[in-house]
Amino acid sequence: MKVIYIGFDGSNLAIKQNKSGKKVALTERFKGIKKYCNRLSKAYPEVQPIIFADYGILDLADDLIWLKEQINTWQIIQCEYGTKADVYLIELLKVAPMHALIVSRDKFREHRKEIPSIYFNTKWRFDAYFNKCELKVPEIRYQIENIIELDTFGARAIGSQLTGDLIGEFLGV
């Protein structure tokens, strides 16, 4: 069973402008992302969600203590200084071709040249929204199921080829 990595653009999903126009990283949104990740992992054991956050996320946090705890326990991966989460997400696509998906509202236009060609004409980025504090990611389960099915089909094809070779060898064909 291959792992399917799903990178969540935590900064992009959790930051919201408050009424005064100031950007704030909302703890309730990060908690919504974590709940969604837990539900996804329970529904699909193959799925390994990873939440990335920009380095400066702590400056925007509405609950600094909670967010620091999440970063210190690796529940949320804070990117190194000077590197945005986008870079980590694109790298995830590179290290796990066809087994990585991204959840973000970002379109990644500035990274188009860096996206592996294997992803062209493939759905790899999923938009998300919040309904109150609950994260919604339409259509992602279909792509997860497609990847699982392709992996299963590939394993069966390899297995049947090996079985056919062994039978042929046994029969002397």
Give the burial class of 68: count Cβ atoms within 10 A of its Cβ; 0-12 exposed, 13-18 middle, 19 or more buried. Answer: middle
Q: Please tell me the pTM assigned to this model.
A: 0.82
pLDDT of residue 140: 92
Residue 162 domain-assigned (yes or no):
no
d(CA 23, CA 58): 12
Taking only the tens place, the pLDDT of each residue in 38-75 is: 999 999 999 999 999 999 999 988 899 999 999 999 99
Check which CATH number belongs to the domain holding 102 and give it.
3.40.50.11980
Domain of residue 19: give its range: 4-139
pLDDT of residue 154: 59
Handedness of CA 4, 5, 10, 13 (dihedral sign): negative
Domain count, the chain: 1
Residue 145 domain-assigned (yes or no):
no
- Percent with pLDDT over 70 in the chain: 83
Residue 75 domain-assigned (yes or no):
yes
Please give the average per-residue pLDDT across 19-34, as a whole number.
Answer: 88
